C-alpha cells in the first residue's frame, strides 16, 4: 500500500530535516508522531532521529540544548521544541527501566530495532550524503509496523519478553496504547506481558500515575484497565484496584466488584467525556469495599474508600487538589436523596459536599447506577440535579465567607472573645441562613448571634 508523505508535519520540523540533509546527514521522523499521522490521529509531538552526533547537532543548531546522556538535543524552531536524537543501540537494562549505557550508531535499522512496538518503529526521511533528487524521502519499516497498523495490531519489536524486561514501563504503555488506538495486542506480546508483569514494580509510582491518567482518557477507559488485570500487571502496580477482582456483590447478575468498577468508569466517561476527575472518582469509588466486606455487606466502605483513595492517588503523585476532590466524592457517594427534601435540605446537601463538587457527585452516582445495571436516574437524580442547579442559580449563601458578617464583626459588635466560640457562632448563623437565605443581612445575623449567646449562657455552657 502506497503511503503519502506526512502532510501534517509542521514546517519547522521539515526545516530541521532539511538542514540535516543539506549537511549530509541521515534524518527521519520517528515515533508516535509518525504512527498517529498514518492513523489520521492528531499529532502532538514530532521526533527526529539522525546519524549526526550530539556535538554536531549543536554546531548545526546553535540554539539547541543537549537534553540527556541518551543523545537528544532539543532544537527550538518557530515556537516548537523539536527533539532530535542520534541513532543509538541499547545495552543491558539492570534496573528494568533504562539502559546501563548507550552507544551511538550510524544505522537507522539498528535504532528502530530497540524500540518498544512495531507501530512505533516506523520512520520517514532519507539517508545523508545524496542529492535530494536521487534520494527522495521514503518510509522505512524494518519491523513490519505498517502491516501491523493496517491490522490494528500492537506487537512488540523482536522478542516481547526481552522488550518488557528491558523497560517495565512498556507494560503500562502497551495496555494504554491498545486502549487509545483501539488495537488488539498480538498474542505472543500479550503472553509476555503476563510473564514479565512483576517487573512493573521497578516503575516509579509517579510514572504509573501518569500512565493511569492517560488510560482513563481512552475510549473506553475500561479497555486498558482490563488488559492490566488480565495480564497480572494490575496486581503489581495498583493493588488497591486488583483487590476488587472476584469480590461478589449484589449488583448486576454475574458482575463482581471489579466488573462493576469498570462499568462505572465507562459510564462516567460516556456521561461527561471532558471530565477526568469524574473518571478518576469512578475508578476508586468502591476501593473501600474489599476491606469492609462482612456478611455480604460493606459497612463504612465510603469512609474507608475515601481514605484509601487519598493514599493511593497521593502515592501516584496526582495533584493535591484532585486527590482531595476525589476523596470527597468517594466519601459522599452513598448519599440518599428523597423528593420530600425541603429547600433547606438541598442547600445543606450542597454545603456539605461543596458547590464545586456537587455536580460531579451526582454524576458519579448516576455512573454508579449504570455500573450496577440500573437506570442512570435511579434515586431521582435528575430531580436532585434540577433542584441543586436552581439553588446555585439563586445565589443562596452556602459558606461562611458568603455570610453578611465575619468573625471580626462578632468580636467587635458582641464583645465575644476570640477563640473557638467565634467559629461555633458562625456555624450556627450559617445553619440559620441555610434554613432561610433571606436572613442573610447584617443586623438580623447579629441579633441571632446575641440570642444564641443568651441561650448558651442560660443553659450553663461556657460563654463569651
Q: Using one digit for the tens of pLDDT, what is the confidence trace for 407-460?
A: 999 999 998 889 999 999 999 999 999 999 999 999 999 999 999 999 988 876
Angle among Cα 137, 42, 78 to the nearest 5 degrees reads: 65
Give the pLDDT band of residue 98 (cuts 50, 70, 90).
low
Rounded average pLDDT over 358-384: 97
Task: Give the pLDDT of residue 457.
Answer: 83
- CA distances to 56, 269, 355, 381 from 378, rounded to whole Å, are 66, 18, 22, 6
Q: Using one digit for the tens of pLDDT, what is the confidence trace for 142-194?
A: 999 999 999 999 999 999 999 999 999 999 999 999 999 999 999 999 999 99
Give the pLDDT band of residue 79 (cuts 50, 70, 90).
confident
Which of 1-10, 242-251, 310-319 is the least confident region?
A: 1-10
Give the pLDDT band of residue 95 (cuts 50, 70, 90).
low
Give the pLDDT band of residue 464 (cuts 50, 70, 90).
very low
Give the pLDDT band of residue 463 (cuts 50, 70, 90).
very low
More confident residue, 192 or 102: 192
pLDDT higher than threshold 70 for residue 92: no
Task: Give the pLDDT of residue 131.
Answer: 54
pLDDT higher than threshold 60 for residue 130: no
pLDDT higher than threshold 80 for residue 106: yes
CB 144 within 8 A of CB 111: no
Give the pLDDT band of residue 129 (cuts 50, 70, 90).
low
Nearest alpha carbon to residue 184 among 152, 160, 161: 152
pLDDT higher than threshold 80 for residue 203: yes
CA-CA distance, 245 to 290, in Å (whole number)? Answer: 9
Residue 187 host element (H or E) = helix 187-195
As a whole number, the mean pLDDT across the chain is: 92
Q: Using one digit for the tens of pLDDT, what is the confidence trace for 401-412?
A: 999 999 999 999
Task: Give the pLDDT of residue 296.
Answer: 82
Residues shown for the chain: 464
Task: Give the pLDDT of residue 28.
Answer: 97
Tell me the Cα Rg of the chain: 29
CB 3 within 8 A of CB 38: yes
More confident residue, 45 or 275: 275
- CB atoms inside a 10 Å sphere around CB 271: 16
What percent of the chain lies above the pLDDT cut of 70? 94
Q: How far is CA 375 from the centre of its chain?
A: 27
Task: Give the pLDDT of residue 77.
Answer: 85
The residues near 197 (Cβ < 8 Å, ≥ 6 apart) are 171, 231, 232, 233, 235, 236
Task: Give the pLDDT of residue 101.
Answer: 65
pLDDT higher than threshold 60 for residue 367: yes
Rounded to the nearest 10 degrees, what angle do helices 320-332 and 343-353 cross at?
A: 140
3-state SS, residue 73: strand
- CB atoms inside a 10 Å sphere around CB 62: 7
Nearest alpha carbon to residue 141 among 116, 114, 108, 185: 108
pLDDT higher than threshold 70 for residue 132: no
Q: Which residues of 287-319 are buried (b: 16+ CB within 10 A; e: fewer)?
A: bbbbbebeeeebeebbebbbebbbebbeebbbe
Amino acid at each position: 500500500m502506497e503511503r503519502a508523505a506526512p502532510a501534517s508535519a509542521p514546517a519547522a520540523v521539515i526545516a530541521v530535516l532539511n538542514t540535516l540533509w543539506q549537511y549530509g546527514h541521515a534524518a527521519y521522523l520517528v515515533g508516535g508522531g509518525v504512527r498517529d499521522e498514518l492513523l489520521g490521529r492528531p499529532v502532538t509531538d514530532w521526533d527526529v532521529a539522525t546519524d549526526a552526533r550530539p556535538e554536531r547537532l549543536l554546531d548545526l543548531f546553535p540554539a539547541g540544548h543537549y537534553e540527556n546522556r541518551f543523545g537528544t538535543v532539543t532544537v527550538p524552531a518557530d515556537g516548537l521544541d523539536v527533539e532530535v536524537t542520534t541513532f543509538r543501540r541499547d545495552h543491558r537494562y539492570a534496573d528494568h527501566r533504562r539502559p546501563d549505557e548507550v552507544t551511538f550508531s550510524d544505522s537507522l535499522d539498528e535504532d528502530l530495532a530497540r524500540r518498544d512496538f512495531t507501530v512505533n518503529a516506523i520512520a520517514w526521511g532519507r539517508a545523508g550524503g545524496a542529492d535530494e533528487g536521487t534520494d527522495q524521502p521514503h518510509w522505512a519499516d524494518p519491523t513490519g509496523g505498517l502491516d501491523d497498523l493496517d491490522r490494528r495490531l500492537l506487537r512488540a519489536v523482536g522478542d516481547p519478553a526481552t522488550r518488557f524486561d528491558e523497560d517495565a514501563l512498556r507494560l503500562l504503555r502497551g495496555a494504554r496504547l491498545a486502549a487509545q488506538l483501539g488495537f488488539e495486542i498480538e498474542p505472543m506480546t500479550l503472553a509476555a506481558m503476563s510473564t514479565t508483569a512483576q517487573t512493573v514494580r521497578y516503575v516509579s509510582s509517579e510514572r504509573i500515575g501518569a500512565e493511569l491518567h492517560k488510560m482513563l482518557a481512552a475510549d473506553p477507559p475500561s479497555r486498558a484497565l482490563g488488559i492490566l488485570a488480565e495480564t497480572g500487571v494490575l496486581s503489581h502496580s495498583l493493588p488497591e484496584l486488583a483487590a476488587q477482582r472476584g469480590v461478589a456483590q449484589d449488583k448486576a447478575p454475574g458482575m463482581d466488584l471489579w466488573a462493576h468498577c469498570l462499568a462505572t468508569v465507562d459510564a462516567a466517561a460516556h456521561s461527561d467525556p471532558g471530565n477526568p476527575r469524574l473518571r478518576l472518582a469512578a475508578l476508586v469509588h468502591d476501593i473501600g469495599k474489599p476491606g469492609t466486606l462482612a456478611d455480604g455487606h460493606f459497612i463504612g466502605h465510603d469512609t474507608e474508600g475515601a481514605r484509601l483513595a487519598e493514599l493511593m492517588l497521593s502515592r501516584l503523585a496526582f495533584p493535591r487538589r484532585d486527590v482531595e476532590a476525589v476523596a470527597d466524592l468517594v466519601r459522599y457517594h452513598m448519599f440518599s436523596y428523597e423528593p420530600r427534601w425541603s429547600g433547606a435540605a438541598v442547600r445543606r446537601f450542597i454545603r456539605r459536599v461543596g458547590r464545586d463538587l456537587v455536580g460531579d457527585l451526582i454524576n458519579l452516582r448516576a455512573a454508579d447506577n449504570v455500573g450496577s445495571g440500573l437506570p442512570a436516574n435511579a434515586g431521582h437524580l435528575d430531580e436532585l440535579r434540577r433542584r441543586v442547579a436552581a439553588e446555585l442559580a439563586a445565589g443562596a449563601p452556602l459558606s461562611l465567607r458568603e455570610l453578611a458578617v465575619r468573625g471580626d464583626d462578632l468580636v467587635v459588635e458582641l464583645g465575644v472573645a476570640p477563640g473557638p466560640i467565634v467559629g461555633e457562632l458562625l456555624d450556627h448563623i450559617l445553619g440559620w441562613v441555610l434554613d432561610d437565605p433571606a436572613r442573610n443581612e447584617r443586623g438580623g445575623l447579629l441579633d441571632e448571634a446575641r440570642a444564641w449567646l443568651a441561650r448558651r449562657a442560660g443553659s450553663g455552657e461556657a460563654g463569651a
